[in-house]
Chains A and B, each alone.
Chain A
Amino acid sequence: MNLSLSRQRLDFWTVVTIAIIVMLSLLLVLPILRVLLLGFIDPDTGNFTLGNFIEVFTRNYYVNGLKNTLFVGVLGTVGACLIGVPLAFFTTRFIVRGKALISTLAILVLVSPPFIGAYAWIMILGSNGVVTNFFGNFGLDIPTIYGAHGIILVFSLKFFPFIFLMTQTALNAVNKSLEDAAENLGCSPWQRFYKITLPLVFPAVSTGAIICFVLAIADFGTPAILGRGFRTLSTIALSAYRSELGGPPTMAVTVSILMMAISMLALLAQRRILSKRRYASSLTNLPVPVRLKGWKNMLVHVLSHGIVILAMIPSAVVVYTSFLKTNGPVFVGGFGLESYQRIWRDAPEAITNSFVFAISAVVFITIASGLISYVIVRRETRAAASIDFLMMVPYLVPGVVMAIGFVTVFRNGFPDVFSAAALLIMIYFIRRLPYGVRSTTSSLRQIKPSLEEAAVNLGATPLGAFMKVTVPLILPGIIVGSLMSFITAINELSSTLIIYDSGTITMPVQVYVAVLDGEFGIAAALSTILLLSTGACVYAVFRFTENRDSAFL
């Protein structure tokens, strides 16, 4: 009797829960712990030390990196808010033609490869950029894009869609009676906005801002391409890692810990702020967009469309450039397919590698996110709660950090059983898993548990009920989650840069290398392929979701 009891407790979902915990411990917790541990070890003696941190906080090289990171992170976020919040206000409170187009373009900006913005702006505003040369012809020396202001510009234009989409959702949910009441009590429209509406959507704005900030400080491609001596923690971590090859990556790891600490602190700060502001919204009185007249109407339209067009310029430039006639790295005027011929001849493996790695990772993500979501949503155990928590961690750990952790665990510690390809698939899997889990989880929360109980009650095993009832019902969520993880996996740059070797180069890495070599034609052609696959996925996501915008957040 005792035996059968314990056997019954070890049911299917318990086994799955254990398997998930083991997997997350190996692929997520262990690498991060290794990074943390290495930061406190003296590379020469192997003893415990705080010396690495003392060095980071005293040497100008690192201190400036920290200052620079916070500087571009904060200002990039502020810039994104200054663009995103007004845009959200315009599209929800006024009748703006082409609202769907604005949202779609914002989403395309959001999912397009992060480094494209940086190098496309070089082609426009760089030392040999189109606009720079145009003004140069008139003897005007306009400031180039390189340095902090360029990075801030790129961050603002790249990350504003988070703020825009989240604020838009929140603004749509504000009870109009509250705004009416404010007006009735004597507020002018402007007072009403900043005294009532803005505070009500503040939780959404701050959530969006934290996402921007975390992504901005973790971003590697933009400062690497636009920095020109302006170093941030992520570029410092990578060069430290490169210079420490062969020994323990102590300084790379110490800088990494600093980056993680900043992300964590930002998140904790936001949680603290939000915990005091919980506004239950009752959707009794939905806001009605107002039709503006005359110059105000013009202004709102010009601003709304102008913002998204400006943000789309990099992608347009990239696609345009890819079709320019080239001779080697030089654009010779006119159109041609030389860039595509060159990547086909010189770098076909970058294309196949990118797709093979991303698709393999997504296959595992699809399976794992179905199982993980079920455990998180349906099992009210402490294990389920900790899995739910762990699913937040990959968002907070910069790619450079995760990759260094991976290398220290699976290269230097283990016998060398994992090829670079396997490591890349593993790291894409663990870093992009949360996208799949989040989408699947929100689908699953809509499904009544009684449906699975009914299936079990009618004789289906737990796995049978999951496959026959749960999976078909959450399939749209699974597909959207898989597409989102595919988009983010195929555009991954920072951790790939640390792990890849000669046989495993991917498209983003090839773009990065090409940009550094001044091969803008190749970079543009590869980026266009990335943009195309990303666009195709976005289209597919639109087909599978009712609420288009929220799928991407």
Chain B
Amino acid sequence: MASVEISGLRKLYGSVVALSDINVSIPSGTFYTLLGPSGCGKTTLLRTIAGFHSQSSGDISVEGRSIAHLPAHQRDVAMVFQDYAVFPHLSVRDNIAFGLKQRRIEANEIRQRVDQVMEVVQLGKFANRMPHELSGGQQQRVGLARAIVVRPKVLLMDEPLSNLDAKLRVDLRAELRRIQQDLGVTTIYVTHDQEEALALSDVVCVMEGGVIQQAASPLDVYLRPANRFVASFVGSNNFLDVDCSGAEAALKCGGEQVLLDLPNQHSGDAVCAIRPEDITVVPGKGSSASDRPEISIPVRIKEVSFIGREMEVFGVTEHGETLKSVSRSDPSVIDLPLDSDAQFCIERHNLSFFEKEPLGGRIG
């Protein structure tokens, strides 16, 4: 149980910047998730903390003590690997005991602690099995048990669930969270799966291009994304260009302009972000008025797909932009023929605005 402080961390591969200006402060006991697309630097950051890569500059400290220049085997940060990395020549028990033996702990205590942790991860029956006799999910339980049994200061997890099938992933996810909370161990977790990140974490840290884009609670990241990248990566989003040429910023809706109440009177190009679940589909033509609390955008229906609990409706605006809506299934919408007219209605307070560039910051 320890706090982690990373300051000014940089990692270069030749001239390629893999990590840049990483500053992170993780309070003790936090479940901290690094989320991002592949190649964003999240695994590099994790492996740098573990000591498998050395940083080009900057510092990493645990409980106020720098570990940045310690060799990997002295860092006391236990890691759970994506491919399990369960030693194939050792039994489940010997795998779990490996780190304890390395720490020269007395045999009796090793036995006790291994027995105990096998109960925690529900592997009690498998103590003497060899890894090849275990399923993927069981192997990953061994990986987890092996890491937590040494009572590390920090637990590192590198996409531990990504090699498991969907059902198992969800089950083990809940279990991971429960075990982490019971132990109260500071955990740094890498994933590219946003649902996993949101479900598990105290803090979600979204990365792209080797840079941290936003680190906040799951709810904040989802509801108040710091920039356009976060808004598009976490959850899905529609982006509509905002016309900033006039005195007041406006959204083009059909022939009319819907004036927007853009905060801080922004100059430069901007986009308006609309979550698909905030769009209600109303069949038929309608009229929009800028003074209403709701804006409605006239579209032609391009595709309706019924996926059970929900339906996805894609509409094309008169300016050729495609918008996606996700809502409760409604037979009157599902039966709409292609190319028929409809209104996409959004409440004004659900709009958010960003500068137009890919990493453009939030406006307001």
Instruction: List B contacts of A8 (CB < 8 A).
Output: 54, 69, 71
Q: Which of B50, B75, B82, B98 contacts A455 (CB 8 A)?
A: B98
| Smallest CB gap from A472: residue in B | B89
| Smallest CB gap from A457: residue in B | B79
How many residue pairs link A and B with beta carbons under 8 A? The number is: 74
CA distance A453 to B83 in the complex (A): 12
Q: Which of B69, B72, B83, B147 contacts A456 (CB 8 A)?
A: B72
Smallest Cβ distance from A397 to chain B, in angstroms? 36
Tell me if B224 is interfacial: C-beta within 8 Å of chain A. Answer: no
Size of the B side of the interface (Cβ < 8 Å), in residues, is 29
CA distance A450 to B47 in the complex (A): 11
Of B73, B81, B99, the most chain A CB neighbours within 10 A belong to: B73
Contact at B72–A450, with CB atoms within 8 Å?
Answer: no
| Smallest CB gap from A475: residue in B | B89
CA distance A536 to B195 in the complex (A): 59
Of A448, A450, A465, the most chain B CB neighbours within 10 A belong to: A450
Q: Which of A1, A11, A458, A473 contacts B102 (CB 8 A)?
A: A458
Q: Given that A458-B102, A459-B150 are known contacts, is A453 also in contact with B52, CB under 8 Å in the complex?
A: yes
Contact at B88–A473, with CB atoms within 8 Å?
Answer: yes
Tell me if B78 is interfacial: C-beta within 8 Å of chain A. Answer: yes
Q: Which of B69, B87, B89 contacts A454 (CB 8 A)?
A: B87
Of B52, B75, B85, B150, the most chain A CB neighbours within 10 A belong to: B85
CB contact list, A270-298 vs B, under 8 A? none
Contact at A453–B85, with CB atoms within 8 Å?
Answer: yes
| Smallest CB gap from A447: residue in B | B88
Smallest Cβ distance from B105 to chain A, in angstroms? 11
Of A451, A453, A455, A457, the most chain B CB neighbours within 10 A belong to: A457
CA distance A462 to B69 in the complex (A): 16
Tell me if B103 is interfacial: C-beta within 8 Å of chain A. Answer: yes
Instruction: List A contacts of B270 (CB < 8 A).
Output: none
Instruction: List B contacts of A550 (CB < 8 A).
Output: none
- Contact indicator per residue, chain B 85-123, by CB within 8 Å of chain A (1) or not (0): 101110000000011001100000000000000000000
Instruction: List A contacts of B74 (CB < 8 A).
Output: 459
Of B50, B99, B143, the most chain A CB neighbours within 10 A belong to: B99
Contact at A460–B89, with CB atoms within 8 Å?
Answer: no
Q: Given that A5-B69, A8-B69 are known contacts, is A450 also in contact with B81, CB under 8 Å in the complex?
A: yes
Tell me if B271 is interfacial: C-beta within 8 Å of chain A. Answer: no
Smallest Cβ distance from A546 to chain B, in angstroms? 14
Smallest Cβ distance from B99 to chain A, in angstroms? 3
Tell me if A199 is interfacial: C-beta within 8 Å of chain B. Answer: no
- Contact indicator per residue, chain A 430-469, by CB within 8 Å of chain B (1) or not (0): 0000000000000000001011011111111110110011
- Contact indicator per residue, chain A 1-41, by CB within 8 Å of chain B (1) or not (0): 10011001001000000000000000000000000000000
| Smallest CB gap from A7: residue in B | B69
CB contact list, A390-411 vs B, under 8 A? none
CA distance A468 to B101 in the complex (A): 12
- Contact indicator per residue, chain B 59-81, by CB within 8 Å of chain A (1) or not (0): 00000000001011111111101
Smallest Cβ distance from B87 to chain A, in angstroms? 6
Contact at B72–A454, with CB atoms within 8 Å?
Answer: no
Contact at A469–B69, with CB atoms within 8 Å?
Answer: no
| Smallest CB gap from A5: residue in B | B69
Contact at A451–B73, with CB atoms within 8 Å?
Answer: no
What class of interface size applies to chain A in its complex with B? 20 to 34
CA distance A469 to B146 in the complex (A): 15
Instruction: List A contacts of B50 (CB < 8 A).
Output: 453, 457
Contact at B88–A462, with CB atoms within 8 Å?
Answer: no
CA distance A33 to B78 in the complex (A): 49
Instruction: List A contacts of B77 (CB < 8 A).
Output: 457
Q: Which of B81, B88, B102, B150 contacts A453 (CB 8 A)?
A: B81
CA distance A21 to B50 in the complex (A): 30
Contact at A458–B89, with CB atoms within 8 Å?
Answer: no
CB contact list, A471-528 vs B, under 8 A? 472-473
Smallest Cβ distance from A459 to chain B, in angstroms? 4
Instruction: List A contacts of B52 (CB < 8 A).
Output: 453, 456
Instruction: List A contacts of B81 (CB < 8 A).
Output: 450, 453-454
Instruction: List A contacts of B147 (CB < 8 A).
Output: 457-458
Contact at B150–A458, with CB atoms within 8 Å?
Answer: yes
Instruction: List B contacts of A454 (CB < 8 A).
Output: 79, 81, 85, 87, 143, 146
| Smallest CB gap from B98: residue in A | A458
Instruction: List A contacts of B82 (CB < 8 A).
Output: 450
CA distance A456 to B156 in the complex (A): 14
CA distance A70 to B54 in the complex (A): 54
CA distance A453 to B82 in the complex (A): 12
Contact at B87–A469, with CB atoms within 8 Å?
Answer: yes
Of A448, A459, A462, A465, the most chain B CB neighbours within 10 A belong to: A459
Smallest Cβ distance from B185 to chain A, in angstroms? 15
Q: Which 4 A-B pairs have the closest CB atoms?
A: A458-B99, A459-B102, A450-B85, A454-B85
Q: List, sorted by A's number, 25 A–B pairs whose CB atoms are closer than 8 Å.
A: A8-B69, A448-B85, A453-B50, A453-B72, A453-B81, A454-B79, A454-B85, A456-B52, A457-B72, A457-B73, A457-B78, A457-B79, A458-B98, A458-B99, A458-B146, A458-B147, A459-B73, A459-B99, A459-B150, A460-B73, A465-B73, A468-B98, A469-B87, A469-B89, A473-B89
Additional 15 contacts, C-beta under 8 A, given A450-B83, A455-B98, A459-B150: A5-B69, A8-B69, A450-B82, A453-B50, A454-B81, A454-B146, A457-B72, A458-B73, A458-B78, A458-B98, A459-B76, A460-B102, A462-B71, A462-B73, A469-B87
